[in-house]
Amino acid sequence: MGKLIVTDGNGQVRDFALTKERVSIGRHPDNDIALNDKAVSGRHAVVITILKDSFLEDLNSTNGTLVNGRSIAKHPLTHGDEITIGRNKLKYESEAGGGDDFERTMVLKPTQFDAAFEPEVQAATASTPPPSAVKPLLGKLRVVGGANAGKELELSKALTTIGKPGVQVAAITRRADGYYIVHVGGETGTKRALVNGAEISTHARKLNPGDTIELLGTQMNFVTL
């Protein structure tokens, strides 16, 4: 556990141990480190601590946050860093030790992550299910123009194939971070579908909302819900 040694504009010094995942700094009295200084924004910065590492983030403050004299938006703190916020200096001292532990894989509990990054869910109990990084989104293909205009295909499967075997086939796969399209049928041979006018390859290409897919002369838009 690291700590911040806070020296305010009047030379008053206090230590603040970084025991919480998220320590707020600002002029407003409800901050963990409240700095009574007009040059400090109400919610100025935050120090996020995950296991032994601490990160400083400026919260778009009016006058900015300096580390060792340089303005930062996000900064991984290292031992001895001097933070300047308004007329206040905050010196970061890291926890001593480390050694072999440093290389070992560690598991971060979901609750620790949420406490660090989502202050609004800090009240959540340990019984909350593990959060998924990204909400699984549902994609659709919508036909544009022609007799089938408006027809939709929900991409609800992990692997969806469209086309005509032996003529033109594409597969759309769903991953945690979105949908990918890939040509099926080998490097040579059958014609390839187009995405935004460019031929797809046998390597996955990520689909973005609004992308136009052309397959067997039919134009489709990729949309997400």
Partner 1 sequence: MALKGKLATALLSDPGLVRGNNEDAVAEDADIGLLVLADGMGGYNAGEIASGIAVTTVIDTVRRQWPTLRHGSVDAASGYSVEALTLKTAIETAHTTIHQVSQTQPQCAGMGTTIVVAVLHDDRIAIAYVGDSRLYRLRHGRLEQITRDHSLLEEMIARGHYSREDAERIVRKNIVTRALGVEPEVQVDLIEDTVEVDDLLLLCSDGLCDMVSDETIGLTLKRYAANLETAAQRLVQLANDAGGKDNVSVVLARADASFARGRRWYERLMEWF
Q: What is the C-alpha end-to-end distance of the chain, expressed in Å?
A: 43
Residue 72 and residue 56 in contact, taking contact as beta carbons nearer than 8 Å:
yes
**CA 161/CA 219 separation, integer angstroms:** 16
- Between 14 and 157, name the residue whose CB sits nearer to partner 1: 157
Which residue from 33, 36, 15, 16 is spatially nearest to 24, judged by alpha carbons? 33
**CA 193/CA 201 separation, integer angstroms:** 9
**CA 19/CA 52 separation, integer angstroms:** 10
Which residue from 115, 129, 47 is spatially nearest to 85, judged by alpha carbons? 47
**Interface with partner 1 (CB under 8 A), residue from 51, 121, 137, 149:** 51
Residue 52 and residue 94 in contact, taking contact as beta carbons nearer than 8 Å:
yes
Binding of residue 5 to partner 1 (CB under 8 A): no
Binding of residue 12 to partner 1 (CB under 8 A): no
The two structure tokens encoding residue 108? 């971060």
SS (H, E, C) 145-191: CCCCCCCEEEECCCEEEEEECCCEEEEEEEECCEEEEEEECCCCCCC
Smallest separation (angstroms) from partner 1 to the CB of 92: 14
- Name the segment binding partner 1 (CB under 8 A); options: 7-15, 35-43, 60-68, 179-187: 179-187
Binding mask 66-95 for partner 1 (x = CB under 8 A): --------xxx-------------------
- Between 13 and 149, name the residue whose CB sits nearer to partner 1: 149
**Interface with partner 1 (CB under 8 A), residue from 117, 149, 196, 199:** 117
**Interface with partner 1 (CB under 8 A), residue from 150, 187, 198, 225:** 187
Binding mask 192-221 for partner 1 (x = CB under 8 A): ----------xxx----------xx-x---
Beta-sheet pairing, 45-50 with 22-26: antiparallel
Binding of residue 18 to partner 1 (CB under 8 A): no
Binding of residue 113 to partner 1 (CB under 8 A): yes
**Interface with partner 1 (CB under 8 A), residue from 5, 34, 50, 59:** 50
**Interface with partner 1 (CB under 8 A), residue from 19, 36, 42, 53:** 53
Binding region for partner 1 (CB under 8 A): 50-51, 53, 55, 74-76, 102-110, 113, 117, 129-130, 132-134, 153, 156-165, 169, 171, 173-177, 182, 184, 186-187, 202-204, 215-216, 218
